[in-house]
Structure 1
Amino acid sequence: MSGMDTPITLHQPKRLEIGAGAAERLGAWAEGAQRPLIVASGPTAQYVDRLGLSGDIKVLDDIPPEPDLPAFEAALAAARAHKPDLVVGLGGGSVLDVAKLLAALWDAETDLRSVAGPNKVAGRTSRLAQVATTAGTGSEAGIRALITDPETKSKIATESPHLLADIAILDPELTYSVPPAVTAATGIDAMAHCVEAFTNIRAHDLIDGYARMGFNLVGKYLRRAVEDGTDTEARAGMMLASYYGGLCLGPVNTAAGHALSYPLGTRLSLPHGLANAIIFPHVLAYNQSVAPEKTAEIAAALGLADAATEETLLHSAHGFCRDLGVEMRLEKHGADRAALPDWAAEAHAIRRLMDNNPRDMSVEDVARIYDAAY
């Protein structure tokens, strides 16, 4: 499930700044920007002053988790009114995704649906800076953006090199305030990006390298970051793991794990990281039989006690997530067991991800996983 001779394209931000205090370097890089637009959320707006920006600054601090189309359109209207020459994403994955799209679309005579899919964005005139405040999605590294369609509860996915940041900043100090449970869930999400790319039918030796570095960093640092939010080394390690996961998404992407997580996000309003954390052990174990060597490598990196069989791997991986403080039962998150078959059909229909999975998964298989997670 890898081939060095398979053609792929890897996009990366033009510049990466990482380390304690890195956010303060943005001002010097952005010198000359006269109308910055900072896209944030309530919790991340507190970091605006650290960026050292000047000029006519507009802050959008009301981007919700898992933004839907009306929320994005409101942000787009505000961006068009401000006419920014620099767009800064300051937040987690949802904020960074919105920032990408605003930078590309604010001065374009088009809407989001018109550019959904691959390579439909015509260009971008504003510079784009991405300042991550969580370690999970790796959105700062990538060329994709996801917005929820309120009618279908599915994701509107846009992919283009024009969504790539000119500079990405990973400052572990900006993640100190992330609560332990959120740190755990987002960290598992970062790991899932690496794992799903690593075991993907489209896996590639180049991306395998990033994936290995990513899930090994998670194994080394996630528990430390959960136990002590001000452990700067652990926080930096997790931000780098998240970044590596973001690089995995472009040429290879995720697979069944993320497909199964999306209905949990849209139907239960679960944060993306939490939804992925709940699903991760089940899909890791499901795929073991067709990717035994890579699965064993993942299990060793995470220190899973017993990964000899699908059943024991599921138990160990589930315990890994649970012991980090993640509530793993869908029942506790308000799921209706009677709705699970419909959610299974919805997940199974996300073929852009399901078709990447190394082991074929039927609707009934998805339903069994949901039921086991209930």
Structure 2
Amino acid sequence: MIAPLNALGTPIDLVQPARLVFGRGTAGEAGRWLGRRGVRRPMVVTDTFNAARVGCLELPGEPVVWGELAGEPTTDDLARVVGAAEAAGVDAVVGFGGGSSMDLAKLVAVLTGSGQSFSDVVGAEKVAGKRLPIVQVPTTAGTGSEVGTRALVTDVAAAAKSAVQSLHMLADLAVVDADLALGMPRAITVATGVDALAHCVEAFTNRKAHPFIDLYALEGIRLVGRWLAKAADDDHDPEARAGMALASLYGGYCLGPVNTAGGHAVSYPLGARYHVAHGAANALIFPHVLAFNAPAAPERTAAILEALGLPVSTEPEKVFAAAHGWCVRLGCEMRMSAFGVPAAELPAMAREAHAIRRLLDNNPRDLSEPDILSIYRAAF
């Protein structure tokens, strides 16, 4: 039995969408749900690829498809899509895609016609409250954003990620149809899958770890260990896609009341500065932070390795070797230099990562700026 980091009676606040539909072939429930509520002008926030297949959502009325998202969302993207939503007079928002599309959809729902700017709502619970109905339909298995209340956007001026958290951004309906991920390329499958894993791992080893969330975190890790390699090897395996969709969903449940920790903080500058995909950045950093944290959470580190089907150890060197080898076998790029990151910028990146206290303060072991720099150099 794994000892809890926090007592059973520790208060916890877990919010979930009012309705969640999970299963193959369920994407059309998004449109049926909107139609029953009289929505006639829904906006779909998505990327170019998914913009071509919004028909599966069976949307009512005259949908507006904003499919200009390329990569992780920026403040420039947000300004354009909110302007488009206001000009079109939309009456609901559908996030359709990966976490980037769903995060952007949340912000469109709360900013359109609200009189608030992005800078007004950065932080926790600063959204005024007026918002459009929100439906989230993930097409990847990574972020779990469909069940979350946070949105991350890269502030172009600051070249850093900013987070907005608000209960008003919680989806009214989340539809998780794993068939939407069939045919997804291996690189995206693996990167998003390791992101789902990181959410579960960082919640499980978090200073805020709670028995209520441990249930989701450990099972999410087991699901990734069982299904990610199969999904990567066969892009049309429906059972593997369903397993990863559930792992991602469980990771999303972990994010709300517990959140991530050192791994995400250390990975963020890679995305904000060099546009490394969020999942790829997490995969690169994952073994380093898991090994670093092992002395502070040995029992839980061993449980993570066991759940992934890896050799169990609590020794940092062996933990790193097991986790790093697992990522390499999946096909993850594990060299920071391969993403075009200049070695001279590593100290500045370490300073930026060390300033992300909302996540680093959750880490089971203090990550100093020199520690982060050492991780970057080891990963370079």
User: Is TM-score (shorter-chain normalized) higher than 0.5?
Assistant: yes
Equivalent residues, number: 374
Q: Does 1:59 align with 2:65?
A: yes
Corresponding residue for residue 9 of structure 1: 13
* Alignment check: 8 A CA contact 2:107 2:151 kept: yes
- Which whole-Å CA distance do the structure 2 matches of 1:47 and 1:238 have between them? 21
The partner residue of 2:39 within 33, 38, 45 is: 33
Partner of 2:186: 180
Q: Is the 8 A contact 1:145 1:157 kept in 2?
A: yes
Secondary structure at the aligned position of 2:245 is classed as helix
Structure 2 gap ranges (5+):
none
1:222 pairs, out of 204, 218, 228, with 228
Normalised by the length of structure 2, the TM-score is: 0.96
- Two-structure CA RMSD over aligned residues (Å): 1.0
Q: Return the alpha-carbon distance in structure 2 between the equivalents of residues 369 and 185 of structure 1.
A: 19
Please tell me whether the aligned partners of residues 344 and 363 of structure 1 are also in contact (alpha carbons under 8 angstroms): yes
Q: 1:290 offset after TM fit, Å?
A: 0.8
* Residue-by-residue CA offset, 1:12-43 (whole Å, 9 max, x unaligned): 01111111111022222111211111111011
Contact 1:85 1:125 in 2 (8 A): no
| 1:80-126: CA deviation from partner (whole Å, max 9, x where unpaired) | 11222211000001100010111111020110110111111121442
1:19 to 18, 23, 44: 23
Cα distance, 1:54 vs structure 2: 2.0
- Equivalents in 1 of 2:131, 2:365: separation in Å? 42
Deviation at residue 243 of structure 1 after TM alignment? 0.9
Displacement of 1:308:
4.2
User: Is 1:35–1:86's contact at 8 Å kept on the other side of the alignment?
Assistant: yes
| d(CA) in 2 for partners of 1:87, 1:308 | 46
Aligned counterparts of 2:285 and 2:334: Cα–Cα separation in 1: 8
Contact 1:348/1:354 (8 A) holds in 2: yes
Match runs of 1:1-374 below 5 Å:
1-31=5-35, 32-305=38-311, 307-374=313-380
**Aligned partners of 1:3 and 1:203 also within 8 Å:** no
Contact 1:348/1:366, CA 8 A, preserved across alignment: yes
1:23–1:171 contact (8 Å) kept in structure 2: yes
Q: CA offsets, 1:232-254, max 9 Å, x none?
A: 11101111111111111111110
How far does residue 222 in structure 1 lie from its aligned partner after superposition? 0.5
Mapped to 2, the partners of 1:4 and 1:124 lie a distance apart of: 36
Deviation at 1:306, TM superposition (A): 5.1
What is the deviation of 1:307? 2.7
| TM-score, normalisation: structure 1 | 0.98
Q: Please state whether the residue corresponding to 1:346 is helix, strand or coil.
A: helix
The percent identity for this pair of structures is: 51
Q: What is the CA deviation profile of residues 158-183 of structure 1, one whole-angstrom value per residue up to 9, with x for unaligned ones?
A: 10110000111111111113210110
Query: Equivalents in 1 of 2:28, 2:155: separation in Å?
Result: 36
| Alignment gaps of 5+ in structure 1 | none
In 2, Cα distance between the equivalents of 1:197 and 1:308? Answer: 18
- Whether the 8 Å CA contact 1:64–1:94 is kept in 2: the answer is no
CA distance in 2, matches of 1:373, 1:332: 10
Show CA shifts across 1:276-312 (max 9, x none): 0100010011101110111111000111235341001
Within 2, Cα distance between the matches of 1:358 and 1:264?
22
Distance 1:124 1:233 in 2: 40
Tell me the SS of whatever aligns to 1:289: coil
Q: In the alignment, is the contact (CA less than 8 A) between 2:298 and 2:314 conserved in 1?
A: no
Mapped partners of 1:62, 1:182: distance in 2 = 19
Whole-Å separation in 2 of the counterparts to 1:136 and 1:63? 17
Decide whether the 8 Å contact of 2:32 with 2:60 is kept in 1.
no
Q: CA deviation at 1:272?
A: 0.4
Any idea what SS the aligned residue of 2:90 has? Answer: coil
Tell me the CA shift for residue 184 of structure 1. 0.6
For the Cα contact (< 8 Å) 1:69–1:147, is it kept in 2?
yes
AA in 2 matched with 1:45: A
Task: Report the residue type matching 2:18 in the other structure.
Answer: K
Quote the Cα distance in structure 2 between the aligned partners of 1:308 and 1:86: 49
Per-residue CA deviations over 1:50-106 (Å, capped at 9, x if unaligned) read 011121210000012111111110111001112222110000011000101111110
